[in-house]
Amino acid sequence: MPKMRKKSDLPTKNCAACGLPFTWRKKWARDWENVRYCSDRCRSGKARAPA
């Protein structure tokens, strides 16, 4: 059985809309290079300026 990873060991990025850091998720594994937003809310409001 593989060892568990700590959340702090996962890669992080900053959200293009809000500027807050977010961590890698398994559902983004195939497309991590193209992920720019931390949530659907940030993606739908991408025209707004970062806070």
Domains of the chain, residue spans: 7-44
Residues 18-37 pLDDT 10s: 999 999 999 998 999 999 99
What's the whole-model pTM score?
0.69
Residue 47 identity (one-letter amino acid)? A
> Of 49 and 30, which is predicted with more confidence?
30
Give the pLDDT of residue 47: 57
Where does the pLDDT of residue 16 fall: very low under 50, low under 70, confident under 90, or very high at 90 and above? very high
Task: Using DSSP bridges, classify how beta strands 21-23 and 12-14 pair: parallel, antiparallel or unpaired.
Answer: antiparallel
CA atoms within 13 A on the CB side of 15: 21
